[in-house]
Chains A and B, each alone.
Chain A
Amino acid sequence: MVKAIVMTNYIKYTPEVARDWKSVNSAVRGDDYKHCARRIEDASTSSQLISKLWIVEEVSKLKLDATRVALLAGWYANFIVPLLIDELQTKMIYNFEIDEDVKQLSYKFNKRYKDDKTYKCEIVDVMTAPVWKKMKKHETGFDLVINTACEHMFPMYKFRELNRGFLDNPLYVLQSTDDSSFDDHINCVSSPDELAEQANLVDVLYSGTKVLDNGMNRFMVIGK
Protein backbone atom coordinates (compact mmCIF):
# COMPACT_ATOMS: atom_id res chain seq x y z
CA MET A 1 0.00 0.00 0.00
CA VAL A 2 1.35 3.44 -0.92
CA LYS A 3 1.15 5.77 2.04
CA ALA A 4 0.62 9.50 1.59
CA ILE A 5 2.86 11.89 3.49
CA VAL A 6 0.94 13.76 6.18
CA MET A 7 2.03 17.31 6.99
CA THR A 8 -0.22 18.07 9.90
CA ASN A 9 0.22 21.10 12.10
CA TYR A 10 -3.02 20.89 14.00
CA ILE A 11 -5.27 18.48 15.87
CA LYS A 12 -8.82 17.88 14.71
CA TYR A 13 -11.24 19.32 17.23
CA THR A 14 -14.38 17.44 16.32
CA PRO A 15 -17.63 17.36 18.32
CA GLU A 16 -16.59 13.95 19.66
CA VAL A 17 -13.26 15.33 20.85
CA ALA A 18 -15.05 18.31 22.40
CA ARG A 19 -17.40 15.99 24.28
CA ASP A 20 -14.61 13.84 25.68
CA TRP A 21 -12.36 16.73 26.64
CA LYS A 22 -15.24 18.51 28.35
CA SER A 23 -15.73 15.47 30.56
CA VAL A 24 -12.11 15.83 31.71
CA ASN A 25 -12.70 19.46 32.59
CA SER A 26 -15.75 18.44 34.60
CA ALA A 27 -13.78 15.70 36.37
CA VAL A 28 -10.97 17.99 37.53
CA ARG A 29 -13.49 20.44 38.91
CA GLY A 30 -14.83 17.69 41.17
CA ASP A 31 -13.24 16.25 44.30
CA ASP A 32 -11.92 13.03 42.79
CA TYR A 33 -9.52 14.61 40.33
CA LYS A 34 -9.03 18.20 41.40
CA HIS A 35 -5.42 17.41 42.32
CA CYS A 36 -4.80 16.59 38.63
CA ALA A 37 -5.78 20.02 37.29
CA ARG A 38 -2.23 21.36 37.08
CA ARG A 39 -0.95 18.23 35.38
CA ILE A 40 -3.77 18.35 32.84
CA GLU A 41 -2.65 21.89 32.03
CA ASP A 42 0.94 20.70 31.68
CA ALA A 43 -0.15 17.95 29.32
CA SER A 44 -2.10 20.40 27.15
CA THR A 45 0.57 22.94 26.26
CA SER A 46 1.62 23.99 22.79
CA SER A 47 5.01 22.32 23.42
CA GLN A 48 3.28 19.02 24.09
CA LEU A 49 1.32 19.34 20.88
CA ILE A 50 4.37 20.35 18.83
CA SER A 51 6.25 17.27 20.10
CA LYS A 52 3.44 14.95 19.10
CA LEU A 53 2.92 16.60 15.70
CA TRP A 54 6.62 16.08 15.09
CA ILE A 55 6.13 12.33 15.52
CA VAL A 56 3.27 12.28 13.01
CA GLU A 57 5.30 14.26 10.50
CA GLU A 58 8.43 12.10 10.65
CA VAL A 59 6.64 8.75 10.83
CA SER A 60 4.62 9.83 7.82
CA LYS A 61 7.67 10.99 5.85
CA LEU A 62 9.28 7.63 6.47
CA LYS A 63 6.04 5.95 5.36
CA LEU A 64 6.10 3.69 8.40
CA ASP A 65 3.29 1.36 9.34
CA ALA A 66 1.62 2.61 12.51
CA THR A 67 -1.30 0.20 12.64
CA ARG A 68 -0.51 -1.05 16.15
CA VAL A 69 1.18 1.30 18.59
CA ALA A 70 2.45 1.00 22.14
CA LEU A 71 2.84 4.18 24.18
CA LEU A 72 5.24 3.95 27.10
CA ALA A 73 4.35 6.35 29.89
CA GLY A 74 1.95 7.97 27.47
CA TRP A 75 0.46 10.13 30.23
CA TYR A 76 -3.09 11.30 29.42
CA ALA A 77 -2.49 10.52 25.73
CA ASN A 78 -4.75 13.47 24.96
CA PHE A 79 -2.92 14.56 21.81
CA ILE A 80 -1.08 11.49 20.59
CA VAL A 81 -4.08 9.15 20.41
CA PRO A 82 -6.27 11.29 18.13
CA LEU A 83 -3.25 12.24 16.02
CA LEU A 84 -2.27 8.63 15.47
CA ILE A 85 -5.79 7.53 14.64
CA ASP A 86 -6.72 10.52 12.47
CA GLU A 87 -3.44 11.01 10.65
CA LEU A 88 -1.63 7.67 10.63
CA GLN A 89 -4.63 5.31 10.52
CA THR A 90 -3.63 3.56 13.72
CA LYS A 91 -6.05 0.79 14.65
CA MET A 92 -4.90 -0.17 18.14
CA ILE A 93 -3.10 1.79 20.86
CA TYR A 94 -1.88 0.47 24.20
CA ASN A 95 -0.73 3.02 26.77
CA PHE A 96 1.47 1.51 29.50
CA GLU A 97 1.37 3.80 32.52
CA ILE A 98 2.11 3.64 36.24
CA ASP A 99 -0.40 6.18 37.52
CA GLU A 100 -4.00 5.15 38.18
CA ASP A 101 -5.30 8.73 37.95
CA VAL A 102 -3.63 9.04 34.56
CA LYS A 103 -5.28 5.86 33.38
CA GLN A 104 -8.76 7.01 34.35
CA LEU A 105 -8.35 10.50 32.89
CA SER A 106 -6.78 9.16 29.70
CA TYR A 107 -9.93 7.10 29.30
CA LYS A 108 -11.99 10.25 29.63
CA PHE A 109 -9.86 12.12 27.08
CA ASN A 110 -10.17 9.17 24.71
CA LYS A 111 -13.55 7.76 25.66
CA ARG A 112 -14.61 7.41 22.04
CA TYR A 113 -11.60 5.17 21.39
CA LYS A 114 -11.85 3.31 24.67
CA ASP A 115 -15.47 2.45 23.85
CA ASP A 116 -14.64 1.08 20.40
CA LYS A 117 -11.60 -0.74 21.92
CA THR A 118 -9.06 1.16 19.86
CA TYR A 119 -7.41 2.59 22.99
CA LYS A 120 -6.42 0.72 26.11
CA CYS A 121 -4.37 1.74 29.16
CA GLU A 122 -2.60 -0.74 31.44
CA ILE A 123 -0.83 -0.07 34.74
CA VAL A 124 2.73 -1.41 34.64
CA ASP A 125 6.25 -0.22 35.34
CA VAL A 126 7.74 -0.69 31.88
CA MET A 127 11.29 -0.87 33.22
CA THR A 128 10.77 -3.73 35.66
CA ALA A 129 7.99 -5.80 34.12
CA PRO A 130 7.39 -6.99 30.54
CA VAL A 131 4.42 -5.28 28.94
CA TRP A 132 3.45 -8.31 26.86
CA LYS A 133 2.27 -10.01 30.04
CA LYS A 134 -0.45 -7.36 30.28
CA MET A 135 -1.86 -8.27 26.89
CA LYS A 136 -3.71 -11.10 25.24
CA LYS A 137 -1.40 -13.40 23.32
CA HIS A 138 -2.70 -12.40 19.89
CA GLU A 139 -2.31 -8.69 20.70
CA THR A 140 1.37 -8.54 21.55
CA GLY A 141 2.81 -7.39 18.22
CA PHE A 142 3.46 -3.68 17.65
CA ASP A 143 4.55 -1.68 14.63
CA LEU A 144 5.69 1.28 16.70
CA VAL A 145 6.71 1.71 20.32
CA ILE A 146 6.55 5.40 21.21
CA ASN A 147 8.17 6.81 24.32
CA THR A 148 8.09 10.59 24.60
CA ALA A 149 9.16 10.51 28.24
CA CYS A 150 12.60 8.92 28.09
CA GLU A 151 14.02 11.60 30.37
CA HIS A 152 11.75 10.29 33.14
CA MET A 153 13.00 6.74 33.21
CA PHE A 154 15.83 4.26 32.98
CA PRO A 155 17.50 3.92 29.54
CA MET A 156 15.36 2.16 26.95
CA TYR A 157 17.64 -0.82 26.42
CA LYS A 158 16.06 -2.29 29.56
CA PHE A 159 12.57 -2.21 28.06
CA ARG A 160 13.89 -3.99 24.97
CA GLU A 161 15.57 -6.65 27.11
CA LEU A 162 12.40 -7.26 29.12
CA ASN A 163 10.23 -7.68 26.02
CA ARG A 164 12.70 -9.32 23.64
CA GLY A 165 10.99 -11.74 21.28
CA PHE A 166 7.44 -10.72 22.22
CA LEU A 167 6.70 -7.46 20.40
CA ASP A 168 7.35 -8.47 16.76
CA ASN A 169 10.48 -6.35 16.35
CA PRO A 170 8.80 -2.90 16.39
CA LEU A 171 10.32 0.42 15.41
CA TYR A 172 11.03 2.71 18.34
CA VAL A 173 10.07 6.40 18.34
CA LEU A 174 11.86 8.01 21.25
CA GLN A 175 11.97 11.56 22.58
CA SER A 176 14.04 13.08 25.34
CA THR A 177 15.77 16.32 26.35
CA ASP A 178 18.93 17.78 27.82
CA ASP A 179 16.94 19.95 30.24
CA SER A 180 17.89 18.69 33.70
CA SER A 181 16.22 21.50 35.63
CA PHE A 182 13.34 19.27 36.76
CA ASP A 183 13.69 16.78 39.64
CA ASP A 184 11.85 14.12 37.73
CA HIS A 185 14.09 14.39 34.67
CA ILE A 186 16.27 11.58 35.92
CA ASN A 187 17.75 10.52 32.58
CA CYS A 188 18.53 13.51 30.38
CA VAL A 189 20.69 13.00 27.30
CA SER A 190 22.95 15.43 25.50
CA SER A 191 21.97 14.56 21.94
CA PRO A 192 19.77 12.35 19.76
CA ASP A 193 22.80 10.11 19.28
CA GLU A 194 22.96 9.44 23.00
CA LEU A 195 19.22 8.72 23.04
CA ALA A 196 19.66 6.16 20.25
CA GLU A 197 22.64 4.67 22.06
CA GLN A 198 20.66 4.26 25.28
CA ALA A 199 18.12 2.18 23.39
CA ASN A 200 20.75 0.16 21.51
CA LEU A 201 19.28 1.28 18.19
CA VAL A 202 21.44 -0.02 15.36
CA ASP A 203 19.29 1.05 12.43
CA VAL A 204 18.39 4.72 12.90
CA LEU A 205 15.89 5.98 10.34
CA TYR A 206 15.50 9.46 11.77
CA SER A 207 17.43 11.58 14.23
CA GLY A 208 16.66 15.21 14.97
CA THR A 209 16.46 18.10 17.40
CA LYS A 210 13.72 20.66 17.82
CA VAL A 211 13.67 23.71 20.06
CA LEU A 212 10.18 23.85 21.53
CA ASP A 213 8.34 27.08 22.15
CA ASN A 214 9.06 26.74 25.88
CA GLY A 215 12.77 26.89 25.03
CA MET A 216 13.45 23.21 25.71
CA ASN A 217 15.61 21.17 23.35
CA ARG A 218 13.71 18.09 22.27
CA PHE A 219 15.49 15.15 20.67
CA MET A 220 13.82 12.43 18.65
CA VAL A 221 15.11 9.24 17.12
CA ILE A 222 13.27 6.58 15.15
CA GLY A 223 14.83 3.20 14.59
CA LYS A 224 15.34 -0.43 15.52
Chain B
Amino acid sequence: MTNTILCVKWGDKYDHTYVEKLKEQCEQNCSVPFNFYCLTDNPTKPYDIQLPTTWDAYYHADRDFFWAYRKYYVFGLGNNNFLPEIEGEQFLLLDLDVRIHQDLKYFFELPMDKPWIVRGWWNNLDTVKQNFAKHKSTPLNSSVIRWNRNQLKDVFDNINRNAEVIFFTYPSADNYFNHHWYNIWDEDASFFQGFPQGDIYSWYKGNVYPDDMEKHKLRENMKICLYNNSGYGEGDSDDKLHKIYA
Protein backbone atom coordinates (compact mmCIF):
# COMPACT_ATOMS: atom_id res chain seq x y z
CA MET B 1 0.00 0.00 0.00
CA THR B 2 1.22 3.50 -0.82
CA ASN B 3 2.31 5.69 2.07
CA THR B 4 1.43 9.37 2.06
CA ILE B 5 2.60 12.11 4.40
CA LEU B 6 0.40 15.19 4.58
CA CYS B 7 0.73 18.62 6.08
CA VAL B 8 -1.47 21.69 5.92
CA LYS B 9 -0.41 25.34 5.74
CA TRP B 10 -2.54 28.46 5.53
CA GLY B 11 -2.24 32.12 6.39
CA ASP B 12 1.06 33.70 7.28
CA LYS B 13 1.89 32.19 10.65
CA TYR B 14 4.34 29.82 8.96
CA ASP B 15 6.17 30.57 5.76
CA HIS B 16 6.91 27.94 3.15
CA THR B 17 10.32 27.14 4.59
CA TYR B 18 8.51 25.23 7.33
CA VAL B 19 6.98 22.93 4.74
CA GLU B 20 10.36 22.45 3.06
CA LYS B 21 11.97 21.66 6.40
CA LEU B 22 9.25 19.19 7.28
CA LYS B 23 9.70 17.49 3.91
CA GLU B 24 13.46 17.32 4.48
CA GLN B 25 12.91 15.81 7.92
CA CYS B 26 10.61 13.17 6.43
CA GLU B 27 13.14 12.32 3.72
CA GLN B 28 15.86 11.97 6.32
CA ASN B 29 13.74 9.95 8.73
CA CYS B 30 11.55 7.65 6.67
CA SER B 31 13.03 4.42 5.33
CA VAL B 32 9.95 3.42 3.34
CA PRO B 33 8.74 5.14 0.13
CA PHE B 34 6.15 7.87 0.57
CA ASN B 35 4.29 10.65 -1.24
CA PHE B 36 4.39 14.12 0.26
CA TYR B 37 1.64 16.70 -0.11
CA CYS B 38 0.91 20.06 1.46
CA LEU B 39 -2.65 21.38 1.42
CA THR B 40 -2.35 25.13 1.27
CA ASP B 41 -4.29 28.29 0.50
CA ASN B 42 -1.35 29.40 -1.66
CA PRO B 43 -0.07 26.54 -3.82
CA THR B 44 3.29 27.23 -5.42
CA LYS B 45 5.23 23.94 -5.25
CA PRO B 46 4.66 20.67 -7.11
CA TYR B 47 3.56 18.96 -3.89
CA ASP B 48 1.06 21.72 -3.00
CA ILE B 49 -2.66 21.00 -3.21
CA GLN B 50 -5.29 23.73 -3.09
CA LEU B 51 -6.94 23.81 0.32
CA PRO B 52 -10.76 23.62 0.22
CA THR B 53 -12.72 26.49 1.79
CA THR B 54 -16.17 25.02 2.46
CA TRP B 55 -15.84 25.19 6.24
CA ASP B 56 -14.73 28.82 6.28
CA ALA B 57 -18.40 29.80 6.38
CA TYR B 58 -18.78 28.26 9.83
CA TYR B 59 -15.72 29.74 11.51
CA HIS B 60 -16.52 32.42 14.12
CA ALA B 61 -13.45 34.64 14.12
CA ASP B 62 -14.93 36.75 16.93
CA ARG B 63 -15.07 33.80 19.35
CA ASP B 64 -11.31 33.71 19.83
CA PHE B 65 -11.22 29.97 19.33
CA PHE B 66 -8.08 28.24 18.14
CA TRP B 67 -9.73 26.17 15.45
CA ALA B 68 -7.22 24.67 13.05
CA TYR B 69 -10.18 23.19 11.20
CA ARG B 70 -8.48 23.37 7.81
CA LYS B 71 -6.33 20.39 8.77
CA TYR B 72 -9.29 18.07 8.80
CA TYR B 73 -10.26 18.31 5.16
CA VAL B 74 -7.80 15.45 4.70
CA PHE B 75 -10.16 13.21 6.67
CA GLY B 76 -12.38 13.23 3.59
CA LEU B 77 -9.82 11.55 1.35
CA GLY B 78 -11.58 8.84 -0.61
CA ASN B 79 -14.97 10.42 0.01
CA ASN B 80 -16.80 10.88 -3.30
CA ASN B 81 -13.61 11.68 -5.14
CA PHE B 82 -12.68 14.42 -2.66
CA LEU B 83 -9.14 15.77 -3.24
CA PRO B 84 -8.51 13.23 -6.03
CA GLU B 85 -4.97 14.51 -6.63
CA ILE B 86 -3.82 12.98 -3.35
CA GLU B 87 -2.69 9.41 -3.82
CA GLY B 88 -2.07 6.71 -1.28
CA GLU B 89 -3.86 4.43 1.10
CA GLN B 90 -1.86 4.91 4.31
CA PHE B 91 -1.85 8.49 5.58
CA LEU B 92 0.23 10.29 8.17
CA LEU B 93 -0.71 13.88 8.99
CA LEU B 94 2.04 15.96 10.55
CA ASP B 95 1.87 19.51 11.88
CA LEU B 96 4.51 21.90 10.58
CA ASP B 97 5.92 22.40 14.08
CA VAL B 98 7.06 18.85 14.82
CA ARG B 99 10.56 17.50 15.14
CA ILE B 100 11.11 13.97 13.90
CA HIS B 101 13.65 11.92 15.83
CA GLN B 102 13.11 8.36 14.59
CA ASP B 103 12.15 6.41 11.46
CA LEU B 104 8.58 7.21 10.34
CA LYS B 105 8.37 3.68 8.94
CA TYR B 106 7.13 2.78 12.43
CA PHE B 107 3.89 4.72 11.85
CA PHE B 108 3.22 3.00 8.53
CA GLU B 109 3.60 -0.41 10.13
CA LEU B 110 1.19 0.12 13.00
CA PRO B 111 -1.85 -2.19 13.21
CA MET B 112 -4.74 -0.22 11.77
CA ASP B 113 -7.81 -1.65 13.46
CA LYS B 114 -8.41 1.94 14.56
CA PRO B 115 -6.94 5.28 13.47
CA TRP B 116 -4.24 6.76 15.71
CA ILE B 117 -4.02 10.21 17.30
CA VAL B 118 -1.71 11.75 19.88
CA ARG B 119 -2.90 10.93 23.37
CA GLY B 120 -1.08 13.51 25.47
CA TRP B 121 0.32 11.31 28.18
CA TRP B 122 1.56 14.48 29.87
CA ASN B 123 -2.01 15.34 30.89
CA ASN B 124 -3.29 14.71 34.38
CA LEU B 125 -6.28 12.44 33.81
CA ASP B 126 -8.17 13.91 36.75
CA THR B 127 -7.88 17.38 35.22
CA VAL B 128 -9.00 16.03 31.86
CA LYS B 129 -12.12 14.50 33.40
CA GLN B 130 -12.78 17.51 35.62
CA ASN B 131 -12.81 19.85 32.63
CA PHE B 132 -14.53 17.52 30.18
CA ALA B 133 -17.77 19.47 29.93
CA LYS B 134 -15.93 22.80 29.95
CA HIS B 135 -14.22 22.03 26.65
CA LYS B 136 -10.84 22.36 28.31
CA SER B 137 -7.89 20.09 29.02
CA THR B 138 -8.43 17.69 26.15
CA PRO B 139 -6.07 14.69 26.31
CA LEU B 140 -5.90 14.59 22.50
CA ASN B 141 -3.55 16.44 20.20
CA SER B 142 -4.01 16.22 16.45
CA SER B 143 -0.45 17.22 15.54
CA VAL B 144 0.13 13.64 14.38
CA ILE B 145 -2.66 11.43 13.03
CA ARG B 146 -2.31 8.10 11.25
CA TRP B 147 -5.17 6.50 9.30
CA ASN B 148 -5.96 4.48 6.22
CA ARG B 149 -8.05 5.78 3.32
CA ASN B 150 -11.76 6.02 4.24
CA GLN B 151 -11.04 5.26 7.90
CA LEU B 152 -11.97 8.81 8.95
CA LYS B 153 -15.00 9.10 6.72
CA ASP B 154 -17.39 9.10 9.69
CA VAL B 155 -15.51 11.97 11.32
CA PHE B 156 -15.49 13.96 8.09
CA ASP B 157 -19.21 13.33 7.57
CA ASN B 158 -20.00 14.25 11.15
CA ILE B 159 -18.14 17.56 10.84
CA ASN B 160 -19.98 18.31 7.61
CA ARG B 161 -23.35 17.35 9.04
CA ASN B 162 -22.90 19.33 12.26
CA ALA B 163 -20.51 22.09 11.20
CA GLU B 164 -22.77 24.85 12.49
CA VAL B 165 -22.90 23.34 15.99
CA ILE B 166 -19.32 22.09 16.18
CA PHE B 167 -17.70 25.35 15.12
CA PHE B 168 -19.91 27.29 17.54
CA THR B 169 -19.31 24.99 20.48
CA TYR B 170 -15.74 23.74 20.48
CA PRO B 171 -12.76 26.01 21.03
CA SER B 172 -10.54 23.55 19.21
CA ALA B 173 -10.88 20.46 17.04
CA ASP B 174 -9.13 18.42 19.71
CA ASN B 175 -11.95 19.25 22.15
CA TYR B 176 -14.44 18.07 19.55
CA PHE B 177 -12.52 14.84 18.98
CA ASN B 178 -12.39 14.28 22.72
CA HIS B 179 -16.17 14.55 23.05
CA HIS B 180 -17.20 12.63 19.98
CA TRP B 181 -14.42 10.24 18.97
CA TYR B 182 -12.60 9.34 22.15
CA ASN B 183 -13.63 7.93 25.51
CA ILE B 184 -11.39 8.99 28.32
CA TRP B 185 -13.26 6.70 30.70
CA ASP B 186 -12.83 3.65 28.49
CA GLU B 187 -10.11 4.07 25.90
CA ASP B 188 -10.82 0.62 24.47
CA ALA B 189 -14.27 1.87 23.47
CA SER B 190 -12.85 4.88 21.60
CA PHE B 191 -12.97 5.46 17.86
CA PHE B 192 -9.39 6.76 17.90
CA GLN B 193 -6.57 5.03 19.71
CA GLY B 194 -3.74 7.00 21.23
CA PHE B 195 -0.14 6.50 20.17
CA PRO B 196 1.53 4.53 22.96
CA GLN B 197 3.67 6.10 25.65
CA GLY B 198 7.19 6.53 24.37
CA ASP B 199 6.22 7.61 20.84
CA ILE B 200 5.40 11.30 21.03
CA TYR B 201 6.05 13.99 23.63
CA SER B 202 5.55 17.71 24.08
CA TRP B 203 8.38 20.24 24.21
CA TYR B 204 6.22 22.60 26.23
CA LYS B 205 4.41 20.17 28.52
CA GLY B 206 6.59 17.11 29.03
CA ASN B 207 6.21 13.41 28.36
CA VAL B 208 4.30 11.29 30.86
CA TYR B 209 2.38 12.57 33.88
CA PRO B 210 3.48 12.67 36.66
CA ASP B 211 6.89 10.99 36.38
CA ASP B 212 8.51 12.50 33.29
CA MET B 213 7.29 16.05 32.99
CA GLU B 214 10.50 17.99 32.37
CA LYS B 215 9.73 20.70 29.83
CA HIS B 216 12.00 22.05 27.08
CA LYS B 217 13.92 18.81 26.90
CA LEU B 218 14.66 16.83 23.76
CA ARG B 219 14.06 13.09 24.02
CA GLU B 220 15.71 11.72 20.92
CA ASN B 221 14.94 8.11 21.80
CA MET B 222 11.29 8.93 21.15
CA LYS B 223 9.83 9.31 17.68
CA ILE B 224 8.38 12.80 17.46
CA CYS B 225 8.53 15.99 19.51
CA LEU B 226 5.55 18.37 19.36
CA TYR B 227 6.09 22.09 19.62
CA ASN B 228 2.39 22.83 19.56
CA ASN B 229 1.28 24.77 22.62
CA SER B 230 -2.25 25.69 21.80
CA GLY B 231 -4.19 24.06 24.60
CA TYR B 232 -7.24 26.32 24.76
CA GLY B 233 -8.04 27.58 28.20
CA GLU B 234 -4.79 26.39 29.72
CA GLY B 235 -3.35 29.89 29.85
CA ASP B 236 -0.88 29.40 27.06
CA SER B 237 -0.81 30.28 23.41
CA ASP B 238 1.50 29.18 20.67
CA ASP B 239 2.45 32.67 19.58
CA LYS B 240 5.98 32.16 20.76
CA LEU B 241 6.72 29.17 18.62
CA HIS B 242 9.96 27.52 19.52
CA LYS B 243 12.50 27.96 16.74
CA ILE B 244 12.82 24.30 15.93
CA TYR B 245 15.02 24.80 12.94
CA ALA B 246 17.27 27.49 14.35
Interface residues of B toward A: which range?
20 to 34
Tell me whether B132 and A154 are in contact (CB under 8 A): no
A-B contact pairs, 20 of them (CB 8 A): A34-B126, A35-B130, A36-B130, A73-B133, A98-B132, A98-B179, A99-B132, A100-B185, A101-B185, A127-B169, A128-B162, A128-B165, A128-B180, A154-B165, A158-B164, A183-B135, A184-B135, A186-B63, A186-B135, A187-B168
Tell me whether A101 and B132 are in contact (CB under 8 A): yes
B-side contacts of A125, CB under 8 Å = 179-180
Asked if A153 is an interface residue, CB under 8 A from chain B, the answer is yes
The answer to whether A128 and B166 touch (CB under 8 A), given A183-B134, A183-B136, A183-B233, is: yes
Shortest CB-to-CB span from A125 to chain B, Å, is: 7
Which residue of A has the minimal Cβ distance to B161?
Answer: A128
A-side contacts of B130, CB under 8 Å = 35-36, 38-39
Shortest CB-to-CB span from B140 to chain A, Å, is: 16
Cα distance A154–B129 in the bound complex, in angstroms: 22
New A-B pairs, 10, CB < 8 Å, besides A100-B185, A127-B169? A34-B126, A35-B129, A35-B130, A101-B129, A101-B185, A125-B180, A152-B133, A158-B165, A184-B134, A186-B135
Tell me whether A127 and B165 are in contact (CB under 8 A): yes
Shortest CB-to-CB span from A57 to chain B, Å, is: 28
Shortest CB-to-CB span from B84 to chain A, Å, is: 29
Cα distance A100–B183 in the bound complex, in angstroms: 9
Cα distance A158–B185 in the bound complex, in angstroms: 28
Shortest CB-to-CB span from B128 to chain A, Å, is: 9
Tell me whether B168 and A154 are in contact (CB under 8 A): yes
Q: Which parts of A19-72 form the interface with B (CB within 8 Å)?
A: 34-36, 38-39
Asked if A102 is an interface residue, CB under 8 A from chain B, the answer is yes
9 smallest CB-CB distances across A and B, nearest first, come from A35-B126, A184-B134, A35-B130, A100-B185, A128-B162, A154-B165, A127-B165, A99-B133, A154-B168
Tell me whether B168 and A186 are in contact (CB under 8 A): yes
Shortest CB-to-CB span from A200 to chain B, Å, is: 15
Q: Is the interface of B mostly helix, strand, loop or mixed?
A: helix
A-side contacts of B183, CB under 8 Å = 100
Which residue of B has the minimal Cβ distance to A187?
Answer: B168
A-side contacts of B164, CB under 8 Å = 154, 158
A128 CB contact (under 8 Å) in B127, B132, B158, B233: B158
Cα distance A128–B164 in the bound complex, in angstroms: 10
Q: Which parts of B121-149 form the interface with A (CB within 8 Å)?
A: 126-127, 129-130, 132-136
Best-buried of A152, A154, A158 by chain B (most CB within 10 Å): A154
Contact with B along A170-207 (1 / 0, CB 8 A): 00000000000001101100000000000000000000
Shortest CB-to-CB span from A140 to chain B, Å, is: 22
Cα distance A102–B185 in the bound complex, in angstroms: 12
B-side contacts of A127, CB under 8 Å = 162, 165, 169
Cα distance A204–B214 in the bound complex, in angstroms: 57
Cα distance A36–B130 in the bound complex, in angstroms: 6
A-side contacts of B132, CB under 8 Å = 98-99, 101
Cα distance A63–B151 in the bound complex, in angstroms: 52
Contact with B along A74-107 (1 / 0, CB 8 A): 0000000000000000000000001111100000
The answer to whether A154 and B136 touch (CB under 8 A), given A36-B130, A100-B185, A101-B129, is: no
Shortest CB-to-CB span from B209 to chain A, Å, is: 13
B-side contacts of A101, CB under 8 Å = 129, 132, 185
Contact with A along B144-186 (1 / 0, CB 8 A): 0000000000000010011011101100000000011001010
Contact with A along B45-77 (1 / 0, CB 8 A): 000000000000000000100000000000000
The answer to whether A98 and B133 touch (CB under 8 A), given A128-B158, A128-B162, is: yes
B-side contacts of A128, CB under 8 Å = 158, 161-162, 165-166, 180
